[in-house]
C-alpha cells in the first residue's frame, strides 16, 4: 500500500510566515562560506528543490558586524526567497578568545556573549532572514551550560539547580526575542537527553524558552527505532517541533508527522545528496531520487575542510 505523503505537504503558518510544507533543511556546515558565490548557490539550490525552510549552517556570532553584515548577507536571503523557501540561520555561541567551557567564561564574557547574540540577530533581521536559531545542542557551549556534568560553575550560571543551568539560554532568548518581533520567528535547537540531564529537565527548559519568546523547538537527535520519538513530548508545550534523524527515508518522515510526534521534519544528508528530494516526493518521482547511502564521505569532507560533496554525484546537482 502506497504511503500517504499528503501530511508532508500541508502548509504551516508560524507568526506571519507560511511554510509551504513540513520539510526543513537543517543547518549543516558545508565549507563553502555563506556569502560566497558557491555558498549562495548551495543554499539557493536546496531552496529551489522544495524545502519549505532552509536553515543556514552554524555561524559564529563573533563574525557579525564586520565580516558579516546585512548588506553582504542579503543576497543569500534573496536567493532562497526567490527559490520559494523561508530562510533562517543558526547562530553559534563563540567567544573572542575561543573559550569552550562554562567555567572559562567570566561574567563579563557572558554579558558580551549575549550582546553578540543581540547584534547578530539585529543584522539577520536587517538582512531579511525569516528566522534565527541559537544552537543549544550537541555538547557545544550553550548545551554545556545546561549539563550538570559539564557545567562546573558555582555562581548563578551553574551549580545543581535547573534554574541556574538554564539561565544563559534564557538570557540569550530574552535578548533576541524583541528583535525578532511579530514577524521573524525564533527557533532553539536542543538535545533532549545529555550528560547528567534527562527529558524532564529538557521539557522544563523548553517551557521556559517558549515563555521567553521561542516559536519553534528544534529537537536533535532522535532514536532510530521510532522517528521523532524524542521530539514528541515537546509538542505538548504548544509550539511547532522539528524532528531529525534519517528523515530522508520517506516512511520515517511520514510516520513522524502522521503520528503527531513532530510538526516538521529535517532532512540533512538526503538534501546534500539530492536537493530535489522534496519535489521528487511531491510529484511521485521516487525512482529518480539520488539517495544518501550513509557512506560518511560528506562528513570526511567536512572534517578535512573541503567543499562537502556526495559520493553518489557524477556531477554536482
Residues labelled catalytic: 140
87 bridge partner residues: 54
Record the cell numbers describing residue 109, joined without a space.
564574557
Contacts within 8 Å (CB) and 24+ apart, 157-161: 157/102, 157/107, 157/110, 158/102, 158/103
8 Å CB contact between 101 and 140: no
216 bridge partner residues: 187
The Cα 186–Cα 175 span in angstroms is 11
Place of cell 563573533: 62
The Cα 152–Cα 94 span in angstroms is 19
294 alpha-carbon distance from chain centroid:
21
The Cα 143–Cα 314 span in angstroms is 39
Q: CB within 8 A of 11, min separation 6: which ones?
A: 18, 19, 20, 21
Amino acid at each position: 500500500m502506497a504511503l500517504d505523503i499528503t501530511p508532508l505537504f500541508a502548509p504551516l503558518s508560524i507568526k506571519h510566515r507560511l511554510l509551504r510544507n513540513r520539510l526543513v533543511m537543517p543547518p549543516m556546515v558545508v565549507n563553502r562560506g555563506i556569502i560566497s558565490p558557491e555558498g549562495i548557490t548551495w543554499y539557493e539550490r536546496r531552496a529551489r528543490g522544495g524545502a519549505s525552510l532552509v536553515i543556514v549552517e552554524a555561524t559564529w556570532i563573533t563574525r557579525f558586524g564586520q565580516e558579516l553584515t546585512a548588506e553582504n548577507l542579503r543576497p543569500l536571503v534573496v536567493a532562497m526567497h526567490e527559490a520559494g523557501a523561508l530562510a533562517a540561520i543558526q547562530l553559534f555561541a563563540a567567544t573572542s578568545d575561543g573559550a569552550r567551557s562554562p567555567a572559562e567564561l567570566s561574567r563579563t564574557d557572558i554579558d558580551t556573549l549575549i550582546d553578540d547574540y543581540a547584534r547578530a540577530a539585529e543584522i539577520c533581521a536587517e538582512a531579511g532572514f525569516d528566522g534565527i536559531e541559537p544552537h543549544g545542542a550537541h555538547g557545544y557551549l550553550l548545551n554545556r551550560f545546561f549539563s550538570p556534568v559539564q557545567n562546573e560553575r558555582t555562581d548563578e550560571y551553574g551549580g545543581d539547580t535547573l534554574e541556574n543551568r538554564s539561565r544563559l539560554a534564557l538570557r540569550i532568548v530574552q535578548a533576541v526575542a524583541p528583535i525578532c518581533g511579530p514577524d521573524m520567528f525564533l527557533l532553539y535547537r536542543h538535545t533532549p537527553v545529555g550528560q547528567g540531564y534527562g527529558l524532564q529537565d529538557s521539557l522544563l527548559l523548553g517551557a521556559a524558552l517558549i515563555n521567553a519568546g521561542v516559536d519553534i523547538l528544534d529537537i536533535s537527535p532522535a532514536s532510530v527505532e521510532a522517528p521523532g520519538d524524542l521530539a514528541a513530548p515537546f509538542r505538548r508545550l504548544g509550539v511547532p517541533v522539528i524532528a531529525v534523524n534519517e528523515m530522508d527515508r520517506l516512511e520515517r518522515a511520514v510516520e513522524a508527522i502522521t503520528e503527531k510526534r513532530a510538526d516538521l521534519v529535517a532532512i540533512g544528508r538526503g538534501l546534500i545528496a539530492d536537493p530535489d528530494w522534496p519535489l521528487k516526493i511531491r510529484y511521485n518521482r521516487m525512482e529518480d531520487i539520488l539517495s544518501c547511502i550513509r557512506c560518511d564521505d560528506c562528513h570526511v569532507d567536512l572534517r578535512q575542510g573541503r567543499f562537502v560533496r556526495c559520493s553518489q554525484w557524477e556531477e554536482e546537482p
